[in-house]
């Protein structure tokens, strides 16, 4: 089957990992997957590419105007996306159009309808609720919800990262649950595995227990909770070291809160993804303090496959892949005391860490590979194609 896979991500977006891993897995299953990046936003200028004054002026205009024009601009881009997508698809002639949903874009509907292509929508977040984390710009009223509902109703199938997201969308837009395919994020089992050699820069020294975090320090990662966790755990145990991987808006918040803990907290900044598996292998405990109610964080299956002992909030999507006390420890969301207690429990119990890590690795091996993720998407594409072919056959006038 030939699948056109379209997305609107910027070149530096971490979600591109998902796009690449899925496409590689689907190709390994024997399918022809053509990935197209459609984002129309111009890349940021390289250092030295423009005069300093021009850069400052551009930054000022972007800051002032961007706050109010970001979403209207996305809306005005829809006709441009339509032309671009129609041109690409007319040339590629795929069997199915698979689209990673973008907040204020409905071009895929017009293009799929005009070319009689079955449309499978990949949804990783709800349009309206996900904007609660994006308060740096003004939000158009009504439009995102209207476009989201229209895309969901007209798509042939919709893949979602969690049952919580499916249930939310079914209730909000009064849609049949059968339209949705729950498909948690996957992991590359060749990169993340229990026998991986730890990165020597971060592995435990002098018997210390390494507690690690990997993320973009975004608002939904719970920077404030992470900062308080680090302080409380290091106050309670002297044999613990934190390794915090990544960069983002809340990193400075965590750095300020932990500034007096020199030598016990390491901020690595953003690392190439190729290095992350060996850094994760140095963790004894892996933590995610917060997640949105609908999210299936990419990092959690990676930690599971690596055999790490995991502490995570007990939201529905995480309960779907981690059984509390079996493949990790789940705590009541936003409960600092419960989070600290879970981390200290694992710090003090190496046997429990091993047991949870072994069970998590087995769960990841059996059901969380990118191959399994791709199989579910491919099945949705095949079923959508069959339905489309039946509709076409039913519309063919009888021969005379």
pLDDT tens for each residue of 93-149 = 999 999 999 877 889 999 999 999 999 999 988 877 666 555 666 666 788 888 899
pLDDT digits (tens, 9 = 90+) for 182-218: 999 999 999 999 999 999 999 877 889 999 999 888 8
Contacting residues for 217 by C-beta, under 8 A, at least 6 apart: 223, 246, 247, 248, 249, 250, 251, 254
> Residue 47: its pLDDT value, please?
41
pTM across the whole model: 0.85
> Residue 208: its pLDDT value, please?
92
> Residue 116: its pLDDT value, please?
93
**CATH level 3 topology of 209-367:** Rossmann fold (3.40.50)
Q: Which two tokens stand for residue 101?
A: 């949903």
Taking the CB of residue 203, how many other CB atoms lie within 10 A of it? 18
Q: Which two tokens stand for residue 382?
A: 């095949």
Contact 53, 22 (CB under 8 A): no
In 3D space, the residue among 273, 218, 213 whose CA is nearest the CA of residue 248 turns out to be: 218
Q: Where are the domains of the chain?
A: 2-186+370-394, 209-367
Ranges of residues in the chain with a pLDDT under 50 are 45-51
> Residue 70: its pLDDT value, please?
67
Contact 358, 194 (CB under 8 A): yes
Domain 2-186+370-394, CATH = 3.40.50.2000
> Residue 25: its pLDDT value, please?
96
> Residue 245: its pLDDT value, please?
95
Taking the CB of residue 383, how many other CB atoms lie within 10 A of it? 15
> Residue 15: its pLDDT value, please?
85
> Residue 46: its pLDDT value, please?
46
């Amino acid at each position: 089957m030939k699948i056109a896979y379209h997305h609107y991500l910027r070149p530096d977006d971490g979600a591109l990992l998902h796009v690449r891993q899925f496409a590689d897995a689907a190709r390994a299953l024997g399918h022809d997957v053509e990935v197209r990046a459609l984002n129309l936003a111009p890349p940021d200028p390289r250092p030295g590419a423009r005069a300093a004054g021009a850069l400052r002026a551009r930054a000022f205009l972007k800051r002032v105007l961007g706050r109010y024009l970001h979403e209207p601009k996305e809306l005005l881009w829809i006709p441009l996306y339509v032309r671009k997508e129609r041109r690409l698809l007319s040339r590629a002639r795929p069997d199915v159009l698979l689209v990673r949903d973008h907040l204020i874009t409905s071009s895929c509907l017009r293009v799929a309808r005009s070319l009689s292509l079955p449309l499978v929508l990949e949804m990783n977040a709800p349009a309206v609720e996900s904007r609660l984390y994006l308060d740096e710009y003004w939000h158009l009223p009504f439009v995102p919800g209207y476009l989201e509902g229209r895309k969901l109703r007209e798509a042939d199938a919709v893949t979602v990262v969690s049952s919580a997201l499916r249930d939310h969308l079914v209730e909000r837009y009064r849609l049949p649950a059968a339209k949705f395919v729950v498909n948690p994020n996957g992991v590359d089992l060749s990169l993340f595995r229990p026998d991986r050699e730890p990165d020597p820069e971060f592995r435990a020294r002098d018997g210390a227990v390494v507690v690690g975090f990997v993320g973009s320090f975004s608002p939904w990662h719970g920077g404030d909770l992470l900062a308080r966790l680090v302080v409380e755990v290091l106050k309670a145990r002297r044999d613990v070291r934190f390794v915090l991987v990544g960069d983002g808006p809340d990193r400075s918040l965590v750095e300020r809160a932990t500034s007096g803990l020199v030598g016990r907290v390491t901020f690595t900044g953003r690392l190439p993804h190729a290095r992350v598996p060996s850094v994760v292998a140095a963790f004894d405990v892996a933590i995610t303090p917060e997640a949105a109610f609908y999210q299936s964080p990419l990092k959690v299956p990676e930690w599971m496959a690596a055999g790490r002992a995991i502490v995570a909030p007990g939201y529905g999507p995480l309960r779907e892949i981690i059984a509390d006390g079996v493949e990790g420890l789940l705590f009541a969301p936003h409960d600092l005391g419960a989070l600290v207690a879970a981390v200290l429990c694992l710090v003090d119990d190496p046997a429990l860490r091993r047991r949870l890590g072994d069970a998590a690795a087995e769960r990841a091996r059996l059901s969380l590979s990118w191959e399994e993720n791709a199989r579910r998407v491919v099945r949705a594409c095949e079923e959508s194609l069959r339905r489309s072919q039946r509709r076409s056959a039913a519309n063919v006038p009888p021969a005379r």
